[in-house]
Structures are given as structure tokens and as C-alpha cells.
Structure 1
Amino acid sequence: MSLDVKLAASTWLWMSPFATENAPELFSTIKKLGYDAVELAIEDPKLIDAKKIKEYLSNYGLRATVCGAFGETRDLTNDDEGFRKVGLEYIEDCLEIASILEAGFFAGPMYSAVGKARLVSAEQKKREWERAVMGLQKASDMAQRRGLQLAVEPLNRFESDLINDVDDVLKLINDINHAAANVCLDMFHMNIEEPDPESAITKVGSKLTHMQVSENHRGTPGSGGANWGAYYRGLKKIGYRGVVSIESFTPENQELAAAVCIWKRFAASQDDFAKEGHDFLKKWINGDYK
């Protein structure tokens, strides 16, 4: 039996940052490749005219999901209150875009800055955990007022020292204790942190709002060592019916390549990456994943 999901590709696969002016050509490509949706990676909300984007989505028959980019100034756990304020303002800007686009949720590792991986004292970790909880309670209120959810994403240990696996994120969600606070899972991080992806997905259960997929090396789905069968079985067990989105990155943008450590191409072109990934995922969601 097949998974009842929609397939999406991230704008990060082609460019960084994404802006409104890129939408018509990129959406046309994504639609021609057979995708149902596009995952909009919002690095700078000022580059996004949500009403125009919504019009372009309608023109090409696509739906949108929205995820965020959390650099060092967007950090809900920082000792500097100014950084925490900037982080919340950014989340609210992205939620407003998601609301206009009727995306349903905003996803990402919004508890802290990406790349914040240190050995800190138990006291410091407790302070940062409490700041993350408090900040995301406020963000959850913002989301709820707009009829949206937060999809909080764990990152691997090399990118975060706070939330690395499903146990961490579920503890965070439990402490936030808000109906709008849910979970996004990313296969790339899970391939590092989860010994049993099927059980991890099952543990998250109905809290799973969004699923990002990637090979263990961030390459084209089906070209690496990821245990796609385990992910299929986990999603099938929990009756997941959301979007499954390819998240990878282009090495052509040097700033982004450095951030995610992608130095070479995984396919002849990014369009080829997206096409080959879509072809594999169509078979995978139909149970042909071996």
C-alpha cells in the first residue's frame, strides 16, 4: 500500500536566498518535474511578497510549505536578549508569510542558532533550555492566532547541542505544552542520530507535522545508504498524510555551501537532482523502496 503524501522540493536545492522574482521560473520547473508542492526556505522575509507568491503558486497548481533559516542572530537561547528578540521577530515574519500562503505550519530548528554546538555546563544548558521553551511558547501563541502550527526540527550533534533526536524534541514539545507546538523530522539528521528510524517516527506519532527527506550524504534520494524502508514503515504506521519534501542544497552558492558543507554536485544539474529524486520518491511512496 502506498503512502498518502504530497511530494515537494526545497528552494534551497536551486538557490539561496529565495526571492519573489525567482518564483515564476522555479515554480514552473518544479511543476514540470511532477511535484505537488514547493518548500519555501525563507532566509530574508523582506525578499518575499507573499501575495505575489500565492498568485504564482496558484498559476502553477502548487501548494507551499515554509521553513526557516536560523543564523547566529536568530537565537532564542542566546545570553543577549537582543538576539532572542530578533529570533522571535523573524519567526513571526515567517508565520505571517505562511499564513498568507495557507501553508499550515512553519518548520525549522527555531529553538537556537544552527551551528551552536558546544560543551557547556549543566547550569548553562538549563538556562538555554528554559529560554527555548519560553520563546517557543510565545511563538506557538503567534502560530495559533494565525491557525498555524510550529514544526520544530531536531539537528544532528554537529549543528546543535540542544535538540538532536526525537527524545530531545519530544521533551521540548512537552515542556512547551502548547497545542500549536509539533515536530518536523529531517532524514539527514536522523541518519546520524537515530539508530532505529522506524521506531523514532512511531514515537513522534501524531506530533509529526512535516517530513524532510535526504540521503545520508545529502545527495539524490536513492543514491546513498539511507534505510528508506525504515522511513516508509514508520510513516505508514503513524498514518502520516502530510508533505514529504526533499531538502538538499546547491553548491553554486558559496555562502550556503560553506554552511552545509556541500562542496560538489550530486547530479549533472540541480534539475537532474530534482528529477531523479522525484522518480525515486514516486516508487518509494508506492512501497518499492528496496
Structure 2
Amino acid sequence: MKSAITIALVPQIKSGPWVFWENLEDSIAKASALGFDAVELFTASATAVDTTLLQQLSESYRIRICAVGTGAGKVVQGLTLTDPNAVVRDRAIAFISEMIDFGAAFNAPAIIGSMQGNIPQGIERTTALQWLSEGISILAGKAEKKGVRLIYEPLNRYETNIFNCFADAVAWLETLGTNNIQLLADLFHMNIEEASIPETIYQYGSYIGHIHFADSNRRAIGMGHTSMSDIAKALQSISYSGYISAEVFPWPSSDAAAKQTINAFNTWFK
């Protein structure tokens, strides 16, 4: 398993659960100095960061780019894959497609979380799921051509009314006819929605492609009441070898959250 930490470069999401907010090089330098294997990036768009510069920083600080978030498409531009307006849905697909291109340059998958949207009021669930399935299928095909996976994230009930539990998300994935989509196991969301995080990992481990390492209060692991012992055992038992990335609040500061995270990672996975 490999450690990662989040860097957000989108001012509009300043209150969100991302650890580093400084300029890109400072954030990568800090992550590298602490011993993280990779960083997970949240940018305003696919062109917001110069890929040549990012490649130079990655090589200079010997740190990988493990994933790219797409949430700015919703936060900044109001785009989702389940918007009743077909033009908006097409723009959402185009935005995520560009993020897939951006991430693929670093062999990093794109994550679809908030851009899945919600089932709008007055719209039948089957209709909204058809829109989501159509968009996700297009994007999964694009990602496959680029040689990367697409990561879909089940969110808790307060953030979406689409899929909150792994069982429902997996059942939906199996209707899509593609093997290029994996699920993001976010421990914060799972703490709210799953009856047992370890049992969910055991049951659906083959679908897990990325993990968000967050405590019950969305602070760094060890700052809430999440019991990591059984979770760590479950991840080891399924031979998970991907990234464990801290998508947490920078509390009490970015540096403190980062240090707490790497200490927790080393405690449970080294």
C-alpha cells in the first residue's frame, strides 16, 4: 500500500477536506519531506496546472500523482452528470474527459464524486440513473483508451441521493458492461453509510481502486473514533496495493494534519 495526501488549488473549495492549500511546489515539497509516496490533486480545470511543470516537480521531489479530482466541475461551473439539461450533462462529460487526459499524463485516474450530482426533484430515479450510466460509460471508455481507470465514489446521504452504500454502487456497476471502473472507499462516507467498514471491504474488495483515509469527523486518522485495526486487517486480507490518500480537513493546521496522517499510515500499513 502507498501513502498519498491531497492538494487543492481551487479557492472556491477552501472550506473543504483537503490538506494542503499553498502553492503547488510548496505543497509537493512538504508531502515529499514527510515521506508520502504521492499527492492527489484538485484543480479548477485540466489546464489550470502546467503539465510540464507538474512533471518536473514530480521528478524533482520524487513523488507521484496518484489521482485527480473532478469536483471543481460542479463547485465552480455547476456541472453534473445527472442535470436535467442535456447541454449541461454534455459539458460535464467534456470537463471530466479533459481531466482524464490531464491525469493520464501521469498514469493517474480521475475521480468522479460530487460531479455525479443528485436525482433532481421531479425526475424519476430510473431516468437519472440512465443519464448517469450513459455519461459514466462514455468516460470509462475514454479512460480505457488512455490506459487509466475511472474511479467512482459513493457519497454519504447528505451529499447525494444516488448511491450511498457499496452494495448498491456495485450492483449498478455490474449493469454497465465495463471493467474499467473501480470504486473509491472513503472511510468518512463509509462510517456514515456502511453497517461495517471491514465487512464491506472483505465483500467488495475486488472493486476498490482508491481509498480516502479519513476519520469519523473527517479529520486525520487518529483524531476521531474510527477503529482502524479491523479496517487495516481487511485491506491487508484483500491484498490491496493501491493508494491510501488523506482527504481530510487541515485541522488544526495543514502541517499538523499531514504529520498525523503519515504517522497513522506508518502505524497501520508499514
Query: How does the TM-score come out when normalised to structure 2?
Result: 0.89
Check if 1:102 corresponds to 2:107.
Answer: yes
Q: 2:264 aligns to what?
A: 280
AA partner of residue 68 (structure 1): T
AA partner of residue 106 (structure 2): L
- When residues 12 and 248 of structure 1 are mapped into structure 2, their CA distance, relative to the original with a 3 A threshold, is farther
Check if 1:78 corresponds to 2:78.
Answer: no
AA partner of residue 136 (structure 1): I
Greater mean alpha carbon deviation, residues 71-80 or residues 82-91: 71-80
For residue 230 of structure 1, report the CA deviation from its aligned partner: 2.7
For residue 242 of structure 1, report the CA deviation from its aligned partner: 0.4
- How many Å separate the matches in 2 of 1:157 and 1:107? 19
- When residues 249 and 50 of structure 1 are mapped into structure 2, their CA distance, relative to the original with a 3 A threshold, is farther
Greater mean alpha carbon deviation, residues 5-14 or residues 62-71: 5-14
- When residues 13 and 241 of structure 1 are mapped into structure 2, their CA distance, relative to the original with a 3 A threshold, is farther
For residue 30 of structure 1, report the CA deviation from its aligned partner: 0.6
**How many corresponding residue pairs?**
260
- How many Å separate the matches in 1 of 2:185 and 2:111? 9
For residue 13 of structure 1, report the CA deviation from its aligned partner: 10
State percent identity of aligned pairs.
23
Q: 1:67 aligns to what?
A: 69
Check if 1:8 corresponds to 2:11.
Answer: no
- How many Å separate the matches in 1 of 2:249 and 2:243? 19
- Whether contact under 8 Å (2:119, 2:128) holds in the other structure is no
AA partner of residue 37 (structure 2): D
AA partner of residue 113 (structure 2): P
AA partner of residue 257 (structure 2): F
Q: 1:270 aligns to what?
A: 254
Check if 1:90 corresponds to 2:90.
Answer: no
For residue 51 of structure 1, report the CA deviation from its aligned partner: 2.3
**Residues 1-290 of structure 1 correspond to what in structure 2 (within 5 A)?**
5-12=1-8, 22-65=23-66, 66-69=68-71, 70-71=73-74, 73-103=78-108, 105-109=109-113, 112-113=116-117, 116=118, 120=121, 124-250=124-250, 266-267=251-252, 269-286=253-270
AA partner of residue 70 (structure 2): G
Unaligned stretches of 5+ in structure 2?
Answer: none
- Whether contact under 8 Å (2:9, 2:23) holds in the other structure is no
For residue 272 of structure 1, report the CA deviation from its aligned partner: 1.3
Query: How does the TM-score come out when normalised to structure 1?
Result: 0.83
Unaligned stretches of 5+ in structure 1?
Answer: 251-265
- How many Å separate the matches in 2 of 1:229 and 1:108? 28
AA partner of residue 179 (structure 1): N
- When residues 215 and 6 of structure 1 are mapped into structure 2, their CA distance, relative to the original with a 3 A threshold, is same
